[in-house]
Amino acid sequence: MKQSKQIFFMILEQKWNFLFLALLVVGAVVVSMVYKSDRNEPACPVSDPNVDWNIVEIAKNYEKEFYCENTSNVGQTECLIENLDRASAVREWKQKKLEILKHPEINTYNLVPVLSDEIDKIKRWRNNFENSRDEGCIAKYVFRGGSGLPGLIARCELDYEISALRTLDWIYYETIKGNHNSYNQGISNFEPTEEDIEKIMLSNKTERGCVWADDEACE
């Protein structure tokens, strides 16, 4: 009887040793998988893998799109004014698209702030944008004159527009599309077509004033 008990306890002890070793092996495998997964994680995780969003690339594209070759004072100034009108049209289009956001373009049940309050912030920004842009750039070159002044002011205003476009893209692609994307339908025409841009450019053409000696505004 005593010998049977000893055999029983020996078998039980072997089973516990086997179970302990099995747990050690499983634990080692799990740790290895987690470590490997962490090493494969990107340094800057993307909010939504379906959104091809890169703020640096967007910025580079805008710089390329609105680039003016420095050939002559007249040519560059005219190019800057035309690009200013174009960038302004794209910026206004995107601002207005954000102003009419509704459910389910953005899921109101998943939105912490009140949608109408957030839209009002965009609207106030758009209404005051051009006056703030122009006054700031004119003030930047106060006490200066010369034939290069219109181009400098236009360049400054274009930079304002590009900065605003980057902000608008960030709001839409990173905040609206990037955060909780599966709940937000998104805006189908956030990016304007060439026809959309040209229509706004015709109605919002920059008042150039007297720039060159033969301009009608100089008479």
CB 204 within 8 A of CB 92: yes
In sequence order, what are the residues at sequence separation of 6 or more whose Cβ sits closer than 8 angstroms to the Cβ of residue 45? Answer: none
The pLDDT tens digits of the residues spanning 61-70 come to 888 899 988 7
User: pTM, whole model, 2 decimals?
Assistant: 0.69
Rounded Cα–Cα distance for residues 212 and 133 (Å): 23
The pLDDT tens digits of the residues spanning 107-144 come to 888 888 999 999 999 999 999 999 999 999 999 999 99
Lowest-pLDDT range of 25-39, 135-149, 170-184: 25-39
Size of the chain in residues: 219
- Amino acid (1-letter code) at residue 104: P
Print the SS3 string covering 122-167. Answer: HHHHHHHHHHHHHHHHHHHCCCCCCCCHHHHHHHHHHHHHHHHHHH
Nearest residue to 215 (alpha-carbon basis) of 206, 167, 42: 206
Confidence at residue 13, expressed as pLDDT on a 0 to 100 scale:
55
Q: In the Cβ-directed half-sphere of 183, how many Cα atoms lie within 13 Å?
A: 10
Nearest residue to 93 (alpha-carbon basis) of 182, 180, 169, 25: 169
Conformation bin of residue 209: beta by default, left when phi > 0, alpha when psi is -120 to 50? left
